[in-house]
Chains A and B, each alone.
Chain A
Amino acid sequence: MDRAWIPEGVQRCSAGAFYSWMALWLFVLGAAVTTALLILWKGLNQTNMNDYFGFGAWITADLGVIALGAGAFFSGFLTYVVRIKELKALINFAVIIGFICYSSALLILILDIGQPLRCWFGYWFPNIHSMLTEVIFCITLYFTVLTIEYVPLILENRKIYANPVAHTLSHNFHEAMAIFAAIGTFLSFFHQGSLGGMYGVMYARPFAFREGFFVWPWTFFLFIFSAISTGPTFTILITMILQKVTKKRLVPRESLSVLAKIAGCLLCGYVIVKIADTYYWATHILPARGLTFAQQYHGYQYGMWLPYVEIGLCGVIPAIILITRRLRENDKWLVLACALASFGVVLNRFIFTVQTLAMPVLPFDKWYIYFPSWQEWVTSMAVIAYGAVIISLSYRYLPVFPYERDLNPPAR
């Protein structure tokens, strides 16, 4: 039925199977849109946030997907600026993942602010001292860059490409892609950093506060480092999942191995820096404010297990797997390492977002527990359905993987 829209020389499932698959995800997405409308209508009282937890599941989800979406800019940087040719097989898909991550983050942010109709105030009345201003500017600009990177791929759809205007436009976009990759890298570095800076500058919140270099607290650099080391692992993870679902090899194994090796080296560096940061925070920053490391953790939800899981299980272990050639060449180990690293960066963002606010600063105050409402869960989890819809459409109708035909020759 839609054969003419599918790229030439590749095999796709039947239209019926595809539409059934899409119907499932669109149903989930529909439920999330309905919930979002409920929130916009009734207000943020539909969440379990309160005056202690001004940030919650949505900011965690935002920061998590933005970190995971860093695979797009970093792969773009490695492909177009450093010119690692193996990554050309992956770059289109990395851009799509980045586009999904950033667009969903912006959609969640619209829900998260109390006055969505004033969202443009961030550009109109910018406070140049606020890290959030930098985040607002860089994220929207980088989302524009991602859209510019995604558009040529859409124009390469078989039917659209037949149009001479689309053909010329697509060609010219490709010519300029290295420039956009460089701009994207610059913008992404800054906003990944600004997101970390948002917490590090809160000097009256000892759990998050960090000293730093010039106007940038150490969290600024830690967030960049964690994003560029775990973003590529998420790109690898989603590629492996897609290969599993489609039962095809879509990118050469070597491409995944090269990216995994780079991510592994970066993750090693990040883990070392993160441990050093935690040590300095525990031995200098906290005592200067009359606090101890142990006081920063409490009970089960905010317990001492968090740093062990975040840095140990989801940092040290995947780093070792990824830098060990024998392990990263094994698909199962690679998936495990990428899943752990991806989960670790989301956990890191959760800790900085929620635990920062949970830890009582006033000596006579107590810990409070935050658990998201069903409305927060549904809208946050909708990112998965949204991603599935975009990836499914892109995979079926666009030439996302340039080596797919070579890797899957038609059966004789």
Chain B
Amino acid sequence: MSPLDVDALAALVPDGALVAMPPDNSLTPGAMARALVRAGKRGLRLVGVPVSGYCADLLIGAGCVASVQTSGVSLGEAGFAPRFSAALAAGRITVTDATCPAMHTMLQAAEKGVPFMPLRGIIGSDILAHRPDWKVIDNPFADGGDPIVLLPALQPEIGLFHAQLVDPDGNVYVGRRRECATIAHASRRVLVTVERTTDRNLLEDEMLSAGTVSGTYVEAVAIAERGAWPVALLEEYGFDSAHFAEYARLARTEEGFQTYLQRYVFNTASAKVAAE
């Protein structure tokens, strides 16, 4: 598998696609989100695994998004996600609320190829009342009187995340961030940005194989150095909280958000400097 550049990878995402991404404490595809903005994608339907952050807010602000299904959208310590809030208030996007273990469970059902899976809890939450696709049944293995929620399988069309390494067979290293493995297993097509290539086969190394996603699942890879930025990448580089604070400040207004896009998304040279 020969790596592409990140803009070529972004071109593989069709408008309107159902796109799954990990949150801001995992292998966040920051460079890919910026490439999707540059590509002018429209109508994306985002899936937060299990929550959403920087990438979702950026794509929403840039007008790339029609809807979000997630358990939460926030910038963590930097506060609420400003472009998400503004777009929701203006009616430009719809949000389908969930709860974290429900997102995982729906994706696990897709991993297994079964139509649904049960999950405890949730009964009595208003989330359930607004999810006609979630059903409550009586546990068929009990003697009655045990209601339980059934969740449908959720198969994203596209799974996106950033990995540390790719080997010649397209195997990618995600370490213990196994929600990225869930994304890879559940999604129909998986597009991965990576820090760098390695010549050794990751699946032949007992120390690395358990943290590796098999190339079986991966359609295409692009090299994106510091591609998780402004989010951390495993032990390689830390979380850029100063940049998150700058984003949160600028994205409070539409004008400030446009400044952010010009500075860090359309001007790839200045973004590269900032990421380093």
B is a partner of A: no
Give the B-binding residues of A (Cβ under 8 A). Answer: none
Give the A-binding residues of B (Cβ under 8 A). Answer: none
